[in-house]
Chains A and B, each alone.
Chain A
């Protein structure tokens, strides 16, 4: 086994183990209720902070890092924001964002040719 394969397997192992323990321990071991209001509030906000930090600014280069790809990404991002405000489901929002990014790519490509 070479070094990079070892690194890959160890990384996946660490990922899987940590993720599983976070899910398993509260259900299996932890039976007490959390009392600290600050801890409860902190836990309540974590998912939103995580998803927001992962999305911005990474979403703007999600279709690539050329100027055209950034325009496509921005079109997809805007579409996702608008549809989420309209409270559309996860699948609708995700696929519409892809559609908008693809359409923007076609348009910028067409303009370059013309």
Chain B
């Protein structure tokens, strides 16, 4: 085991992180454009990416800021949207090697994302801190750089290209949901039910004020509870991988 762990070097982490980083570059670029388009200053958009490192939460976050939503709404929305990271953290904590002390856990947990978690938990050996830091490095740099490029340079792109790029992040969400939904009826029904709820709420919100942050919280809690009640997975199948 120790020999296998030896191979999980910082450099291997960097290599494994490169494909993730390239994907993040395009998505964060459109995040930068979208944020500035909503009236968020470029510096704030970059700060959001550097302190959050998460796609869905950030998109919801700028929606809430643009709508002037409250701090509690913001906190609840981030809690629900990013709750999956807690599950990933619990899962990952079973796979860390003995060099992983409290300080390393406190620092490296900042870098848990869907993709980084997926690559880390796919390793056969237990994970040393240096591999985790290597894995996080490039995605973090590219996420911040892409946001800066989109926020500062996005405006020079023709309007039609800016508009078309607005769909990139949703394309990524769709690509995360559909492959597992093909294999799991539970995921399929949860996704469809949540989409239906969200559409109904969007319709109702023409008449009474329901902000998008509140809407996502309502949909996620109801649809996930619906899934847990009607499509329970067996213990072994409940994992956080995507």
Contacts and interface: CB of A to CB of B under 8 A. Distances in A.
The A interface, classified by DSSP as helix, strand, loop or mixed, is helix
Interface residues of A, number: 76
Given A15-B74, A59-B170, 7 more contacts: A15-B78, A20-B51, A22-B79, A23-B86, A41-B232, A47-B176, A91-B23
Interface in B201-242: 202, 212, 215-216, 219-220, 223-225, 227-229, 231-233, 235, 238-240, 242
Contact of B216 (A28, A54, A96): A54
Interface stretch (B3-11, B139-147, B148-156, B192-200): B192-200
A101 B74 CA distance: 31
B199 A56 contact: yes
B71 A49 contact: no
B37 to A, nearest CB: 10
Contacts of B224: 42-43, 45-46, 49
Contact of A46 (B163, B175, B220): B220
A114 interface: no
A55 B220 CA distance: 12
A68 to B, nearest CB: 10
Listed residue (B59, B110, B192) with the most chain A CB atoms within 10 angstroms of its CB = B110
B87 A14 contact: no
A55 B109 contact: no
B227 A27 contact: no
Given A11-B71, A19-B82, A93-B171, A64 B176 contact: no
Given A24-B106, A76-B164, A81-B174, A91 B187 contact: no
Contacts of B106: 24, 27-28
Contacts of B128: none
B119 interface: no
Which 4 A-B residue pairings sit nearest by Cβ, starting from the closest?
Answer: A26-B89, A97-B171, A53-B219, A41-B228
